Amino acid sequence: MSNALTDYLSKFTEADWLAAVDELLPCVHDVDKDALQIWFRFYPLDLKRYLDAAEDRAAAELGVALQGKFGLEDKIDSSHHFLYGHRYWKTVKAAIEAETVVFKESTPTLIEEIKAIGMAVAEKLHVERQMINAMVIIGLATLNQVGVEAFKAAPGEVEQPKGIMAKSPNAVIAERAKDDSQGLFGFLKTVNKKYSVAWENAKSHGKFTIVNEQEISSASSNDRSQNWQKQDERCWEGVVPVECVAASCGTCWVGVLGGAEKLTEVSRRERRAMKVFGYNQPEGDHPFLRLACQAKASGNATIVIPAWNAVFGKKVRGNVEDVELEPNTTSAKKLRETLAAAVSAE
Ligand code: FES
């Protein structure tokens, strides 16, 4: 089922949505600026359209080495759990639903449509518009990907924020920027400084300890406090899914919500690998997407873990000449062979 609003939204490409995100950023509160950009990388429209258009969906998923749970269909009310604005979802969703009834394509730009809905919601909730805009563009992108029927069928209920997310937006930013104390004489320590990585995934949240200059994935694998594979079958050890630990498979990609500047700079290898995988990593030495097996921490960091991974840069985005990957483990090698076989079969 489509209507004037979904017809209008369907005209925009992935690049259009990302351009709208960039244009909207000055009108988004700092607490959600990176989270908004991460959300659009976790739910890429072009990969969804590629898979939807495939005659054989299972073969197409195999062809891009997709693992985990991709897509928004079962996450309409939850995909944005890591945004501060998540708490306003019920009202944002209701406003978008109302817009599906009255929308006429006289609105000249996507950004104006977003801001108009954002203004109405902000007035209703008595909240600053910059707290709402990110949720509106995410809501419209979700509607575009799942359709009116599924969008309306979702209950729109969200859990009340807990932990540091229950604080003010500026307190959340300050909390994420803080490092763990090293004790009374911590300033004398040159080795064995210990920090924390706070994480969120689709089902849960928590923290693990990281030693100074340790890779995030290595620190995650030391945390044996839960049966991680029960939460996500990609998690062999620790909450961050890993496979090759050598920037060759893309399994360990994470969004960085805080402490990005305390992670080592992106190497040429990591930057190149992210293009091959299709994760659309922005330029910059300390971006908001990282490979956990490459990023070493020298302070506290806050990450969000996506529910899937794939290698789709070449097939879907055409942004790399060749798939240049060097498998380091048997299972990573198998993953690459699957991909190579799918590519050569075309
Ligand atoms: S675990 Fe393979 S890229 Fe990090």
CATH number at residue 292: 3.10.20.30
Which tokens go with 112?
Answer: 């104006």
* 55 lies in some domain: no
* 57 lies in some domain: no
Decide if pLDDT at 332 tops 80.
no
234 CA → ligand 1 middle, Å: 12
Query: pTM above the 0.95 mark?
Result: no
Are 185 and 325 in a shared domain?
A: yes
55 CA → ligand 1 middle, Å: 30
Question: For the residues 122-140, what does the mean pLDDT come to?
Answer: 97
Are 85 and 228 in a shared domain?
A: no
Decide if pLDDT at 346 tops 60.
no
Nearest residue to 141 via CA among 61, 28, 70, 36: 36
Are 155 and 219 in a shared domain?
A: no
Three-state secondary-structure class, residue 170 = helix
| Residue 291, strand partner residues | 253
> Based on the structure, what is the number of domains in the chain?
2
Tokens 């030391």, residue? Answer: 222
Rounded to whole angstroms, how far apart are CA atoms 172 and 163?
Answer: 10
Distances (CA, A) of 306 to 42, 70, 256, 312, 315: 6, 9, 11, 15, 21
Decide if pLDDT at 341 tops 60.
no
Tell me which of 130, 162, 194 is where a domain ends. Answer: 162
* 71 lies in some domain: no
Q: To test ligand 1's pocket by mutation, which of 242, 263, 303, 309 has the most ligand atoms within 8 angstroms of CB?
A: 242
* 72 lies in some domain: no
Three-state secondary-structure class, residue 262 = helix
Work out the end-to-end distance of the chain between its first and last CA atoms, rounded to an integer number of angstroms. Answer: 33
Are 337 and 189 in a shared domain?
A: yes
Rounded to whole angstroms, how far apart are CA atoms 15 and 46?
Answer: 9
177 CA → ligand 1 middle, Å: 26
Nearest residue to 46 via CA among 297, 337, 318, 329: 318
Rounded to whole angstroms, how far apart are CA atoms 69 and 61?
Answer: 11
* 64 lies in some domain: no
Mean pLDDT of the chain: 91
Decide if pLDDT at 264 tops 50.
yes
Q: To test ligand 1's pocket by mutation, which of 252, 270, 333 has the most ligand atoms within 8 angstroms of CB?
A: 252
Q: What's the CA angle centered on 259, arms 306 and 45, to 5 degrees?
A: 30
For the packed helices 30-42 and 14-24, what is the interaxial angle rounded to 10 degrees? 180
Decide if pLDDT at 103 tops 50.
yes
Burial class from Cβ neighbours inside 10 Å (0-12, 13-18, 19+) for residue 242 reads: buried
Are 148 and 216 in a shared domain?
A: no
Tell me which of 113, 136, 162 is where a domain ends. Answer: 162
Closest protein CA for atom 3 of ligand 1: 247
Are 125 and 155 in a shared domain?
A: yes
Are 276 and 217 in a shared domain?
A: yes
Q: To test ligand 1's pocket by mutation, which of 218, 264, 293, 339 has the most ligand atoms within 8 angstroms of CB?
A: 293
Collect all residues with Cβ–Cβ distance below 8 Å to 181 and sequence separation of at least 6: none
Are 133 and 277 in a shared domain?
A: no
90 CA → ligand 1 middle, Å: 36
Q: What's the CA angle centered on 26, arms 175 and 298, to 5 degrees?
A: 35
Amino acid at 75: K
* 168 lies in some domain: no
Q: To test ligand 1's pocket by mutation, which of 236, 245, 274, 275 has the most ligand atoms within 8 angstroms of CB?
A: 245
In percent, the amount of the chain with pLDDT more than 70 equals 89
Residues near ligand 1 with C-beta < 6 Å?
A: 242-245, 247-252, 291, 293
Are 274 and 145 in a shared domain?
A: no
For residue 346, count other CB atoms closer than 10 A to its CB: 6
Are 128 and 204 in a shared domain?
A: no
pLDDT in tens, 159-205: 889 888 999 999 999 999 998 887 766 666 666 789 999 999 998 99
Distances (CA, A) of 87 to 31, 166, 169, 186: 13, 10, 12, 38
Are 189 and 323 in a shared domain?
A: yes
242 CA → ligand 1 middle, Å: 6
* 56 lies in some domain: no
Q: What's the CA angle centered on 88, arms 303 and 83, to 5 degrees?
A: 10
Rounded to whole angstroms, how far apart are CA atoms 93 and 151?
Answer: 8
Are 211 and 300 in a shared domain?
A: yes
Residue-level pLDDT at 189: 63
Rounded to whole angstroms, how far apart are CA atoms 61 and 219?
Answer: 30
Atom of ligand 1 nearest to the CA of 241: 1
37 CA → ligand 1 middle, Å: 21
Which tokens go with 21?
Answer: 């995100």
Residue-level pLDDT at 340: 58
Domain interval for residue 259: 178-344
